[in-house]
Amino acid sequence: DSGVTQTPKHLITATGQRVTLRCSPRSGDLSVYWYQQSLDQGLQFLIQYYNGEERAKGNILERFSAQQFPDLHSELNLSSLELGDSALYFCASSVAGQDIGYGYTFGSGTRLTVV
Amino acid sequence: GQQLNQSPQSMFIQEGEDVSMNCTSSSIFNTWLWYKQDPGEGPVLLIALYKAGELTSNGRLTAQFGTTRKDSFLNISASIPSDVGIYFCAGLSAGNNRKLIWGLGTSLAVNP
Q: How long, in residues, is chain B?
A: 112
**Is the pLDDT reported for residue B2 higher than 70?**
no
Q: How far is B65 from chain A (nearest CA, A)?
A: 15
Neighbouring C-beta atoms of residue B16, cutoff 10 Å: 12
Residues of B whose CB is below 8 A from A9: none
d(CA B57, CA B97): 29
Q: What Rg value do the Cα atoms of chain A yield, rounded?
A: 13
Q: How far is B71 from chain A (nearest CA, A)?
A: 16
Amino acid (one-letter) located at B64: Q
Residues of B whose CB is below 8 A from A108: 40-42
Q: How far is B9 from chain A (nearest CA, A)?
A: 11
pLDDT band at A92 (very low <50, low <70, confident <90, very high): very high
- Interface residue A16 vs chain B (CB under 8 A): no
Per-residue pLDDT reduced to its tens digit, A36-67: 998 766 788 899 999 999 998 988 999 999 99
- Interface residue A107 vs chain B (CB under 8 A): yes
Q: Please report the pLDDT score of residue A96 as a whole number.
A: 74
d(CA B105, CA B5): 9
Q: Do B43 and A107 touch (CB under 8 A)?
A: no
- Interface residue A42 vs chain B (CB under 8 A): yes
- Interface residue A34 vs chain B (CB under 8 A): no
pLDDT band at A74 (very low <50, low <70, confident <90, very high): very high
Helix (H, G, I), strand (E, B) or coil at A85: helix
d(CA B85, CA B11): 10
Say which of A2, A43, A56 has its CB closest to residue B102. A43
Q: Do A43 and B88 touch (CB under 8 A)?
A: yes
Amino acid (one-letter) located at B4: L
Question: What string of DSSP letters covers B12-72?
Answer: EEETT--EEEEEE-SS-EEEEEEEEE-TTS--EEEEEE-STT-EEEETTEEEEE-TTSSEE
Q: Please report the pLDDT score of residue B27 as a whole number.
A: 87
Nearest one of A75, A76, A68, A77 to A97, comparing CA atoms: A68
Q: Please report the pLDDT score of residue A41 as a whole number.
A: 66
Residues of A whose CB is below 8 A from B4: none
Check residue B16 and give left, alpha or beta (phi > 0: left; psi -120 to 50: alpha).
Answer: left
d(CA B75, CA A81): 40
Per-residue pLDDT reduced to its tens digit, B54-108: 999 999 999 999 999 999 999 999 999 999 999 999 998 777 667 788 899 999 9
Helix (H, G, I), strand (E, B) or coil at A83: helix
- Interface residue A106 vs chain B (CB under 8 A): yes
Q: Please report the pLDDT score of residue B109 as a whole number.
A: 95
